Structure 1
Amino acid sequence: MTLTPVHFFSHGSTMMLGEESESADYWKACGDAALANNIKGVIMMGAHWDSVGEDNIEVAMNPSPGKSPVAYVHPSKYVDYKLEADLPTGERVVGLLNGAGFKARANPTFEWIHDTYLILIRMFPGKCPPTTIISMNARFDPHLHMRVGSAVRSLREEGYLIIGTGGAVHNLYRNRWGPMLKYRDNFAQETPPEGWALEFRQSVEDCFANNRGPALRRAITRLMKHPQFRDAHATDDHFMAACFVAGVAGGWEDEREESGRLGAETWELTNMCNSQFTIGSWGNGVQIRAIRA
């Protein structure tokens, strides 16, 4: 049985929605491949929505979700893009999560945030596919979020594309904001990234590239004990999507799948590393590649 690939995308700053980059090209290539393979829908966990309470998880069930506005991006880039909430799949996801022991519930008023719709616009500029968004839990327990991914893993067998969107290296306190604030240049690299950012970025790639199945789950969740984790992530929220992805793609059956690979990477604000990873393939031996014009 062919399983859909799984993506861990680093969405970066809001300007990644408005500016061209290799990451944006890769997101589009992944979206084109998904449409060519007739996905049923998209299931996502982002980095900006969490539910308070032990084992509490929410699923976005607003039939007409709005969009939280984003800074440093012209409204024409996103205001007219119609979001498509997948309510039937949302109900199934609530059931799967409750069956796995979580306290899951629908949220009928949630408005989508740039961490998810930024990716959707870049992947599917023509039309938003039916999409289900799953919240984090505010305890930011890596093993809990891995289990959330494991609970919905079976949907890969039905043709759903599952995405975690967070950050490989995402510490807003250690970014250099001057060029972005003064000149709207988020890609300016006046100096190289600092050593802690390079070290943790490499460790993330090593974990995705060198581990499959349950070993991937152990490797990714263990990264929160990495000596440079707190330098790379001042808060835990942007790493939970990686733990979610490890759960989705870390079953025993996944030992037969292709290891994760780095599809693209974009550095922003000196120390923010936006790495884009894909685990598995569409089963036709064709690698997803972003080709710049």
Structure 2
Amino acid sequence: MVLAPVHLFSHGSTMMLGEPSEAADYWKKAGDEALANGVKGIVMMGAHWDAPHDRIEVATNPKPAKSPVAYVHPSKYADYPLNPDLPTANRCINLLKKNGFEAGGNDTFDWIHDTYLIIIRMFPDPATCPPTTLISMNARFDPHYHVKVGAALRPLREEGYLLIGSGGAVHNLYRNYWLPMLRYSDNFAQVTPPEPWALEFRQAVEDVLTHNRGPALRRAATRLMKHAQYRDAHATDDHFMAVLFVAGAVGDEADEKEEGGRLTAETWELTNMCNSQFTFGNWQAVKA
């Protein structure tokens, strides 16, 4: 069985849409590789949309707008046309229901920067952007729930769909240093080194994602929410759910034979926000 790769992208602050960075360069490279290998579509879980109660939702708005973002000139994103994939959205709903989820469409949802920031960076020419489906989180932020979401959608990889989690390795807005960005529009200023809690949790994320495969990866990813520095690194759980979604998508027993996670790029922002980028698998296996 051959599978499309899966990406875990830490999207960072809104300024990652407007400023050059190592992470942005890798997003573009990942987009180029997807196009070169005939990607069928993108299925993405972001970090800014969660459904209440026991529900999970899939975006079914045929003409979504884009929520405006701060500190980025509108020319960077306002005129970029989105390409929602309604047929695949309905397939995702059916796959989720088949796996026991209370799932449904949301035909009024407008896209937020955690998803379209990545899309624009991956495919700066909108004419090349593959059809895209957005999956919500669930507002209870249960780690096992979100692993199961990724597992339920894993079969799409066999058809050439690219699954992406857009969240953050270390993402605690309350513990960032905002002054250089607010005063000088410099989100990459590192007046001081990152604090020890940020470095510790960042390393824990890399260790889990690069040293585990298959079901062991799923178990290790969920355990990260019990790490001693987890709450320092994630004051809220929303940006960590992408990690669990990805672990579900690449954590089947069959995935033990696939290429494991690779740290492909990294960008620190606002002193303590670590935007680590990970890729699991590769397109060469699909082509073979």
TM range (shorter): over 0.9
1:191-228 alpha-carbon deviations (Å, 9 max, x no partner)? 00000000000000001110001011011111000000
Q: Which residue is 1:104 aligned to?
A: 103
- Structure 2: any 5+ residue segments left out of the alignment? none
Q: For the residues of structure 1 that align with 2:119 and 2:252, how far apart are their CA atoms? A: 26
Q: Which residue is 1:90 aligned to?
A: 89
Q: CA deviation at 1:284?
A: 5.5
Q: Which residue is 1:43 aligned to?
A: 43
Kept in 1, the 8 Å contact 2:3–2:285? The answer is: no
Kept in 1, the 8 Å contact 2:3–2:286? The answer is: no
Kept in 1, the 8 Å contact 2:12–2:269? The answer is: yes
Kept in 1, the 8 Å contact 2:40–2:160? The answer is: yes
Q: For the residues of structure 2 that align with 1:182 and 1:260, how far apart are their CA atoms? A: 37
Q: CA RMSD in A?
A: 1.1
Q: CA deviation at 1:130?
A: 0.2
Kept in 2, the 8 Å contact 1:2–1:283? The answer is: no
Q: For the residues of structure 1 that align with 2:53 and 2:173, how far apart are their CA atoms? A: 26
Q: For the residues of structure 2 that align with 1:163 and 1:197, how far apart are their CA atoms? A: 24
Q: For the residues of structure 2 that align with 1:31 and 1:283, how far apart are their CA atoms? A: 15
1:32-71 matches, cutoff 5 A: 32-54=32-54, 56-71=55-70
TM-score normalised by the chain length of structure 2:
0.98
Letter in 2 for 1:28: K
Aligned partner of residue 283 in structure 1, secondary structure: helix
Kept in 2, the 8 Å contact 1:45–1:241? The answer is: yes
Q: CA deviation at 1:283?
A: 2.3
Give the fraction of aligned pairs with identical amino acids, expressed as a percent. 72
Kept in 2, the 8 Å contact 1:7–1:162? The answer is: yes
Letter in 2 for 1:33: E
Q: CA deviation at 1:42?
A: 0.2
Aligned partner of residue 283 in structure 2, secondary structure: coil
Kept in 2, the 8 Å contact 1:63–1:85? The answer is: yes
Q: Which residue is 1:138 aligned to?
A: 139
Q: Which residue is 2:9 aligned to?
A: 9
Q: CA deviation at 1:285?
A: 10
Letter in 1 for 2:60: M
Q: CA deviation at 1:34?
A: 0.3
Q: Which residue is 1:114 aligned to?
A: 113
Aligned partner of residue 38 in structure 1, secondary structure: coil
Letter in 2 for 1:29: K
Q: Which residue is 1:216 aligned to?
A: 217
- Structure 1: any 5+ residue segments left out of the alignment? 287-293
1:69-122 alpha-carbon deviations (Å, 9 max, x no partner)? 000000000011000000000000000000110100000010000000000000
Q: Which residue is 1:152 aligned to?
A: 153
Q: Which residue is 1:205 aligned to?
A: 206
Q: For the residues of structure 2 that align with 1:284 and 1:76, how far apart are their CA atoms? A: 38
Q: What is the aligned length?
A: 285
1:14-66 alpha-carbon deviations (Å, 9 max, x no partner)? 00000000000000000000000001100000000000012x00000000110
Kept in 1, the 8 Å contact 2:2–2:286? The answer is: no
Q: Which residue is 1:26 aligned to?
A: 26
Letter in 2 for 1:201: R
Aligned partner of residue 284 in structure 2, secondary structure: coil
